Structure 1
């Protein structure tokens, strides 16, 4: 079981991290240099190989897609066009294979795990109280930490929870500044009046709790069950050297405290896609995360992370399976150009 019986223990775990294998990256670059293609011609696929190989051998036997679900007390402020019971209904839909993520996980050949946190009991309304008590926060982080399968080679993360874009926007505002209107988006279809209520709820929470707290305390004050679990899962993956694909705005906000606790805290992750939710581009830029794809998604559920899994598979397949110039009896044009430049000099 996870060791997080205190915030001090969690803080220590967030700041005591394994680092990338630089020698493995050097070997990857050496092989890339002699593969039958122009240098750099596979673009970000080449970068994905280096990223993956810095943490794990270049082979994927098992991909796991973990979706954490939770409910939010801030729904009392009328910040969503959907009621809280939709969260449970969608969890049931997931288990019956009826959601988009079920189809995407199947196509990506990923094991799908649906993890309701605290039996979908709502967090507290953070406009009036901290979203989670210290004990509940630690329990949620621990649940996420323990949910990561031991044999996983690549982890994709997603979320489900009516109202969780409000929590994510509030957490982003607490961590990085600006007001509710700056970070609040339309979520699952808010109209103008709903968007104004959402921004107002965030501003009232900021006035109540403030920003002068540690990143972990800010996550507890403004986040919620599934956001805390997402942070725990990402931390577990780092400790086990598992590369992670992050989904959209909510997932990005949930893991942001890890980057503020340690500048390398998200080095084992890649941002799968850029969500249409307002604030995601800004949040990603502040964290130095460059999305792999932009398909104008705003579903959540880990949909963008699932779609990025085949990109990682393709990157490793090219690196592992391509012939070298010497094997294919093809002159290395990269080497020829280098030699010509030296001769001309």
Structure 2
């Protein structure tokens, strides 16, 4: 797969900026009534945003730790495995289009919350007309489709960096996504299927067994590809995960901090970290859902969630709810 895009070495967030921001934080006057260390995890978030705020010469503005310019990107997709085995999801076949319609009409809670936070929402439909392959017996994508979708994600990240977006929030929305994400995470982390399979959208026992068998068969197909994230992504991932992988890796290249949310986004994050080591320094996990595959993914990425409220609604809900916390932390550390 030599025609796939390659990523340059990732430059880590600016340690000197982090140190200066932390020093300013410790020296805040008593009148602020915010002694250093009293904000818990927000202390780390503020220092992280400060470290991420520097831009190379000639790039878009972003020279403060502000997160006021924020975009939520929701990537939707269609997975052939869900069409072939509708019992593995309680979501309707038209779920992705319903999500799109609800958000674009403004009726969705995600849309209304985004408006209240002054967060722009971008929906990215990856493959509604051509679902990804049935991963238990066929590849999700061709090499050409993988390259195309990775590039699409990279272009999204470039567009946001070019227009000066200071913080990205990223979410997912697809029927069958928990099955595909568990397969990718289980494969890359070397974990047996029964330990990564979850109940997804609220399936019953028989459907859970079917889902486990699908994940088992799909993982067996890529048993020799575990060290190659792009092969795993191509064979048992999907177009949406490929777009997310390109987006997350290129956001790190462009030094754009990202709030990530959802088991699908985490599966893509594992792939992105493997193909562009160091990318995870530019991400914060917004929330921890209830899918078993999330725990090994977080462990592999060495990341921990800001929120642990059992949010598993998808569509970047957890990331959106964490935006206010990041903004507050950034404000405190802006000195």
TM-score, normalised with respect to structure 2: 0.88
1:204 is aligned to 2:217: yes
Identify unmatched segments of 5+ residues in structure 2.
Answer: 54-63
Deviation at 1:227, TM superposition (A): 1.0
Residue in 1 that maps onto 2:265: 251
Superposition map of 1:1-345 within 5 A: 7=2, 9-10=4-5, 12-13=6-7, 16-35=9-28, 36=30, 37-56=34-53, 57-75=64-82, 76-78=84-86, 79-148=88-157, 149=160, 150=162, 151-213=164-226, 214-320=228-334
Deviation at 1:59, TM superposition (A): 2.0
Distance in 2 (CA, whole Å) between partners of 1:299 and 1:194 is 20
TM-score, normalised with respect to structure 1: 0.86
Deviates more, 1:77-86 or 1:249-258: 77-86
Deviation at 1:24, TM superposition (A): 1.0
Verify the 8 A CA contact 1:70 1:160 in the aligned structure 2: yes
Distance in 2 (CA, whole Å) between partners of 1:120 and 1:314 is 41
Structure 1 residues 7, 171: closer, same or farther in 2, change over 3 A? farther
Q: SS where residue 81 of structure 1 aligns? A: coil
Deviation at 1:276, TM superposition (A): 1.6
Identify unmatched segments of 5+ residues in structure 1.
Answer: 1-5, 322-345
Verify the 8 A CA contact 1:180 1:198 in the aligned structure 2: no
Number of residue pairs matched by the alignment: 314
Residues 49-69 of structure 1 show CA distances to partners (whole Å, capped at 9, x for unaligned) of: 211121213123410000011
Deviation at 1:8, TM superposition (A): 5.6
Q: SS where residue 252 of structure 1 aligns? A: helix
Residues 219-248 of structure 1 show CA distances to partners (whole Å, capped at 9, x for unaligned) of: 111111111111111122112111000002
Q: SS where residue 259 of structure 2 aligns? A: strand
Structure 1 residues 272, 120: closer, same or farther in 2, change over 3 A? farther
Distance in 1 (CA, whole Å) between partners of 2:132 and 2:253 is 28
Deviation at 1:120, TM superposition (A): 4.5
Deviation at 1:297, TM superposition (A): 1.2
